[in-house]
Amino acid sequence: MKILVLNPNTSQGVTDKIAAVARRAAAADTELEFITAPYGVPYIATRTEALIAGQIALEVIAEREHEWDAVVLAAFGDPSLSALREIFSIPIIGLAEASMLMACPLGRNFSIVSFSTNLQAWYRECVEWHKMDNRLASIRMLDKPFNDVNAVQSDFEDMLVDLSLRAIQEDGAEVIITAGAPLAGLASRVRDRIPVPVIEGVAAAVGMAEAMCRQNPRAPETGAFKRPVAKESSGLSDTLTALLSNK
Amino acid sequence: MKILVLNPNTSQGVTDKIAAVARRAAAADTELEFITAPYGVPYIATRTEALIAGQIALEVIAEREHEWDAVVLAAFGDPSLSALREIFSIPIIGLAEASMLMACPLGRNFSIVSFSTNLQAWYRECVEWHKMDNRLASIRMLDKPFNDVNAVQSDFEDMLVDLSLRAIQEDGAEVIITAGAPLAGLASRVRDRIPVPVIEGVAAAVGMAEAMCRQNPRAPETGAFKRPVAKESSGLSDTLTALLSNK
Amino acid sequence: MKILVLNPNTSQGVTDKIAAVARRAAAADTELEFITAPYGVPYIATRTEALIAGQIALEVIAEREHEWDAVVLAAFGDPSLSALREIFSIPIIGLAEASMLMACPLGRNFSIVSFSTNLQAWYRECVEWHKMDNRLASIRMLDKPFNDVNAVQSDFEDMLVDLSLRAIQEDGAEVIITAGAPLAGLASRVRDRIPVPVIEGVAAAVGMAEAMCRQNPRAPETGAFKRPVAKESSGLSDTLTALLSNK
Amino acid sequence: MKILVLNPNTSQGVTDKIAAVARRAAAADTELEFITAPYGVPYIATRTEALIAGQIALEVIAEREHEWDAVVLAAFGDPSLSALREIFSIPIIGLAEASMLMACPLGRNFSIVSFSTNLQAWYRECVEWHKMDNRLASIRMLDKPFNDVNAVQSDFEDMLVDLSLRAIQEDGAEVIITAGAPLAGLASRVRDRIPVPVIEGVAAAVGMAEAMCRQNPRAPETGAFKRPVAKESSGLSDTLTALLSNK
Amino acid sequence: MKILVLNPNTSQGVTDKIAAVARRAAAADTELEFITAPYGVPYIATRTEALIAGQIALEVIAEREHEWDAVVLAAFGDPSLSALREIFSIPIIGLAEASMLMACPLGRNFSIVSFSTNLQAWYRECVEWHKMDNRLASIRMLDKPFNDVNAVQSDFEDMLVDLSLRAIQEDGAEVIITAGAPLAGLASRVRDRIPVPVIEGVAAAVGMAEAMCRQNPRAPETGAFKRPVAKESSGLSDTLTALLSNK
Amino acid sequence: MKILVLNPNTSQGVTDKIAAVARRAAAADTELEFITAPYGVPYIATRTEALIAGQIALEVIAEREHEWDAVVLAAFGDPSLSALREIFSIPIIGLAEASMLMACPLGRNFSIVSFSTNLQAWYRECVEWHKMDNRLASIRMLDKPFNDVNAVQSDFEDMLVDLSLRAIQEDGAEVIITAGAPLAGLASRVRDRIPVPVIEGVAAAVGMAEAMCRQNPRAPETGAFKRPVAKESSGLSDTLTALLSNK
């Protein structure tokens, strides 16, 4: 089983964090490949940036889709997940999606905790798209400026723990999701400081991708993720042109 | 008041249909400009194509945002509406959005009727994003192949009326929305053949844009449509690079 | 286009405030007529008073329905809107309805802010009737006694701004609706003191009525707003008797 | 315990049917008084007629409120129930409300079956006001003209049974509510022809009123049914004027 | 009419409190029998204990079902109510269920107040099973250790009143349900200290059981509470074996 | 990693089917143990039988909890899952739960297809408990009598495929869940006859249990699955007595 873990951000440092968690989580016979976005932004925080990242993901996956059995889309807001699912045949698992699904057996609800209020609107839309708002206790975000996305995890660890405790006490959260690829690895480290389960999202996504591959689901011939009919286009990149034309 | 009506499809013929309806609907002192997507696909039907169209809309509006008071995004699935709203200061009104809002005072629910089952999944996500699924009676689509998107309106008129009648009788629809920019003008023409109100979406969008401009709403400093903070990027077009960097 | 703006309260001073906003908002070719309730209460605050106002609206509109193209019902709780819609053929637009519909494109939710806790239960039912509770962040009300409904707007302006700020900070409101006909004009005046869009309800209702007239929707032959069959009655006013008997 | 059973329709024949059921259902020590609307329509079917009936109920109850311990409002759509509840101190129980509450322990959902499609929109709003739409399987109505509301029960008995069977088979109804005061007594008669429980609404309302009186609930000082503050009015009947002024 | 009031806890003292309230609430011609659980736990607080109590209720009722017209299951979380309803023919009314149904006419929502946070998760699932979460303002619990469940009512009376006041002020509760059989009788005693209606749950359940018996509902042949088909089993008690085999 | 797969039915033949699927699905280093219920019913179909099975699961797991890292509860209705989760420290994964979670990335909704209408009410409550009704397209069941639960899979294969096709065509199902432990293995066999993904539930549960173990979630100190405080009991089995007393 070969899984692409795609970081749609341009930060290699974030990819390194993701890779460390993914490797620990994967089964012995799972092969992982990691790709960092070749262009775009260092970390996606908004719908606009997610829109751009979605197109990057389209192009990256289209180039070599046949080489992987599944893709983990390693950005918490699951950018353009529905587009990727309809156009590609292999399973695509989102980081937010896997985190939320894994949280379900662990509590009746969850809170999402992350490092920047700028992410809030995007994350909320992601939760709603997954129809998981009936499980959402709250989204809580730090409101601190930062210089280096690679350092937010270590710089803000204590504040993120505090924020998690407030989500538990004030919002009744039964599970904490530390959201955002730059926080990969944090959940395992703060496990003993937070009195409810904390989801390690990348591990959840790898586990879900593995379980999904074992299901070996067939491509749907109907419904939301049916492969679109071929479409002629103009002015797009060769990769996108070929993808849309089903070639 | 100057409004851009942006057709994110590449079909000039569709733009012509849109323009005819928009001009009839606009107030005397409203100036309209029509732009057809400079690249992309002839008509957007899927989330993948909508993703691409969203980026096109970003670039087209970013070039000359200061020249307009509002934008009508003239594709029914409202591609990337949330991204456009956060990044631009002027009101952006979606065709689906305006149609659904205009339907609310006319009935307790509405059905969306259009010309291709390929559109269904995208439209449904659009309705859900607008939190209008509590008003949705059904989405009904023709399941017919067609050669020319410019001709679907005339070729399928009778079938679309029949589909609307079935939505009324079988799904209890109280208002019909004939969805999709290629159907612009159809609602007015079939008005007397359908026993409930039929929404002319482009007219609804122009009316909503005009009313919104008269509200002259200030830009939000918080919430889902707050302008994102500046972000450095790499490898994007000059327009997108400047847009993200708030320049 | 001729629109009746009906103030179902007996306060002429409130009508004057409404008229000032409506005239600024209307398109050049829109003719407005203003009527103040000939009997009833100075301002409606409760379901009981709204029940009485609904009957007043029935009688006032029934007298001269053919003279108008649309009616704006200028009381925020939209008293008896469903009854008015089924029995009359011209569009009837409620103040609460138009405010909420106009708020939708401006944010993911809204808070309603007004001058008396006495209004709260009525407003909440109104929001629920419109199926807009999935957009409602909160209803916040002043809890101050007042002597003159005409003076609440000026006397309480600062407190209403403070209440709006609390709705934004504590309830996450992304749009503020300053509710109640006695507050007509307030939104425009406090626009710069509140960091999210504030809806001017009367302007929204006039804009929505204009856009609706341009749709020229046909009367429904089925559904919630189908004209009722004629009914004989006894002991009612001549106007109501004639209205029920479809004469 | 003395309960007013108020038929807000003007049909004495309907009151007689209601009374027969109510007397069978009441406890030995419950005293019942029956009043037929002194003016209005023979049977309420629409929101407009319900609006008029609501005002009639206001006046009838206001005249002698102190003589009763509770009121059963014997029209299925529960006209103006929220107004009556806020303005009066004694419990007011609606026919629809009691039927739906009694249906809850008997099945996971219910269907409402009645004799005229004209009632449908009003009934649906009633179900929604009671927040019981999460229990509603369907509303099914006969679409037959009739001359005499007193005869619908006997004339349409077989058709109403058939309609109930279809609600069970096609909509999955687990309880049937035969709705509308003119059908009082039908549920008991058709009990053995319908394979799920059938609610006798008037009996449910009397039982609920009795149980409520035994609770002896105090008047709320806050919330939706708090007594409104006194309000001056003009041009209303002496009864309404006194009621609004809290005299 | 003969009603079994079954306390599925083993505390005779709690049964005594229940009996005192039930006797006051019952109609003159209602005969009540009280049974305390012959084994199990002194008071049920968790899903595990409720699971055990459900099996106890199965056995107790199965022994003598034909002797009663209805059962009041006198533990607030309504343990195994759906199982009891499908397997027995007589109406089974839950304490939580009756309290919530009785609360509906008294306010637009209710809060549940009780004496131990240990009960919270079980109560919440109970509210959700009854589909009453759309009416739930909050569940508020004391967080105090106690030695004797028979004394919680008197020991904690003041704290429970305070908790109720906070539910009203902070959660907007319009009705208070003092939950848990050990609190039987409290509602009547604190009635004047809480400014909204307080439900006496045992009285509500008796009243609902009486009203239900007067409906004399037939056993459903379909739906959620249809009697299961006979099932062979092994290793169960004679009572359960016979019950499952429909003997 | 050692996982108990507990069949709470008494049918060894069903356990064999479960084991065959589980072994194929498990990772190389996962050790599986299979236990068949020592008493109870051959297959659980109702809430009453699920209640009994829940108690069996309590006892079976309590005996040797420390020997396993996780439990797969291999009955589709997830009997007493919330009780098991609060009282045990190791993860307990339900068959229905895992199937539904695995279905989420594969489509926007799912239908549950099984072999007996007797299961319907129980399954529906299970879906609702998991808050997955917003994803449920339909539950469709065969209405055929059968003699041997071990043979339903082979006897009814064609009918179950037909039922799945109807769920897709008539209910819009995008994923099919073939529900019930007796159907273990069916999904893989009919994969090519159904044009959307079909979930193999036992494989989903094993995969979810493995992924959950890799999360190594800590026991919650608050929330719905917090370990209950110790409780004295009387008359229960030694195992249950010890379990409740936290010994």
E207–D210 CB contact, under 8 Å: yes
> Does D66 score more than 80 pLDDT?
yes
- Digit-coded pLDDT (tens) for B180-194: 999 999 999 999 999
Percentage above 90 pLDDT, chain B:
96
Comparing CA positions, the residue from F171, F164, F153 lying closest to residue F197 is: F164
Residues of chain F with Cβ-Cβ distance to E224 below 8 Å are 121, 124-125
Distance (Å, rounded) from C-alpha B163 to C-alpha B176? 10
CATH numeric code, D2-95+204-244: 3.40.50.12500
Average pLDDT over residues D172-194: 97
Residues of chain F with Cβ-Cβ distance to E86 below 8 Å are 46-48, 121
Average pLDDT over residues F28-54: 97
> Does C123 score more than 90 pLDDT?
yes
Residues of chain D with Cβ-Cβ distance to C240 below 8 Å are 52
Q: Which amino acid is at C181?
A: A
Q: Which of E84, E214, E227 is the best substitution to test chain D (most D C-beta atoms within 10 A)?
A: E214
pLDDT at C127 (0 to 100)? 98
Chain E and chain B touch, per 3+ beta carbon pairs within 8 A: no
Domain ranges in chain E are: 2-96+204-244, 108-196
| B177 DSSP β-pair partners | B112, B199
Nearest to E87 among F42, F48, F128 (CB): F48
Distance (Å, rounded) from C-alpha F33 to C-alpha B29? 78
Q: Which of B24, B86, B104, B136 is the best substitution to test chain C (most C C-beta atoms within 10 A)?
A: B104
- Which chains are adjacent to chain C, needing at least 3 Cβ pairs under 8 Å? B, D
B235–A39 CB contact, under 8 Å: yes
Nearest to B228 among A45, A83, A86 (CB): A45
Nearest CA in chain E to F145: E229
Nearest to D224 among C42, C58, C121 (CB): C121
Distance (Å, rounded) from C-alpha A22 to C-alpha A24? 5
The CATH topology of domain F97-201 is Rossmann fold (3.40.50)
pLDDT at A246 (0 to 100)? 85
Q: Which amino acid is at D158?
A: D
Nearest CA in chain D to E226: D196
Average pLDDT over residues D103-120: 97
β-pairing, A70-73 vs A2-7, is parallel
Residues of chain F with Cβ-Cβ distance to A91 below 8 Å are 105-106
Residues of chain F with Cβ-Cβ distance to E48 below 8 Å are 58, 83, 86-87, 228, 243-244
> Does F247 score more than 80 pLDDT?
no
Q: What is the ipTM, given to two decimal places?
A: 0.97
Average pLDDT over residues A41-55: 97
Average pLDDT over residues C220-238: 96
Nearest to E102 among D85, D192, D215 (CB): D215
Average pLDDT over residues A50-71: 97
- Which chains are adjacent to chain F, needing at least 3 Cβ pairs under 8 Å? A, E
CATH class of E108-196: alpha beta
Domains C2-94+204-244 and C97-200 share a fold: yes
Distance (Å, rounded) from C-alpha C196 to C-alpha C217? 33
Chain E residues within 8 angstroms (CB to CB) of chain F: 10, 38-42, 45-52, 54-55, 58, 80, 82-83, 86-87, 118, 121, 124-125, 128-129, 223-226, 228-229, 231-236, 240, 243-244
pLDDT at A145 (0 to 100)? 87
Q: Is CATH 2.60.40.10 the classification given to domain D97-200?
A: no
> From residue A128, how far is each of A96, A123, B125, D162, E128 by CA, in Å?
11, 9, 10, 42, 21
Nearest CA in chain A to B39: A235
Please give the DSSP secondary-structure letter assigned to residue C198: E
B240–A41 CB contact, under 8 Å: no
Nearest to F199 among A200, A204, A215 (CB): A215
Instruction: Kindly indicate the confidence band of residue C114, based on its pLDDT and cuts at 50, 70 and 90.
Output: very high
> Does F132 score more than 80 pLDDT?
yes
Name A184's Cβ contacts closer than 8 Å, sequence gap at least 6: A14, A17, A18, A20, A21, A74, A153, A200, A201, A202
Work out the burial of residue E154: count CB atoms within 10 Å of its CB; fewer than 13 is exposed, 13-18 middle, 19 or more buried: exposed
> Does B247 score more than 80 pLDDT?
no
pLDDT at C132 (0 to 100)? 98
- Which chains are adjacent to chain B, needing at least 3 Cβ pairs under 8 Å? A, C
E46–F129 CB contact, under 8 Å: no
F51–E45 CB contact, under 8 Å: no
Strand F176-178: give its sheet, edge to edge. Answer: F136-141, F110-114, F176-178, F198-199
- By the 8 A CB rule, do D29 and E28 touch? yes
Q: Which amino acid is at B235?
A: G
Chain F residues within 8 angstroms (CB to CB) of chain E: 10, 38-42, 45-52, 54-55, 58, 80, 82-83, 86-87, 118, 121, 124-125, 128-129, 223-226, 228-229, 231-236, 240, 243-244
pLDDT at A247 (0 to 100)? 73
Q: Rounded to the nearest 5 degrees, what angle is found at the Cα of F197, between the Cα atoms of F195 and F198?
A: 105
Shortest distance between the Cα of D76 and any Cα of chain E, in A, equals 15
Q: Residue F216, SS3? A: coil
- By the 8 A CB rule, do D93 and D73 touch? yes
Distance (Å, rounded) from C-alpha F136 to C-alpha B98? 29
Nearest to B217 among C91, C94, C106 (CB): C106
Architecture of domain F2-94+204-244: 3-Layer(aba) Sandwich (3.40)
- By the 8 A CB rule, do C43 and C148 touch? no
CA atoms within 13 A on the CB side of C39: 11
The CATH topology of domain E2-96+204-244 is Rossmann fold (3.40.50)
Average pLDDT over residues D167-192: 97
Chain F and chain E touch, per 3+ beta carbon pairs within 8 A: yes
Q: Which amino acid is at E137?
A: A
Nearest CA in chain B to A243: B48
Percentage above 70 pLDDT, chain A:
100
Average pLDDT over residues E231-240: 96
The string of DSSP letters for C54-121 reads HHHHHHHHHHHGGG-SEEEE-STT-TTHHHHHHH-SS-EEEHHHHHHHHHGGG-S-EEEEES-GGGHH
Comparing CA positions, the residue from F101, F48, F44, F106 lying closest to residue F76 is: F44
Phi-psi region of A180 (alpha: psi -120 to 50; beta: other; left: phi over 0): left
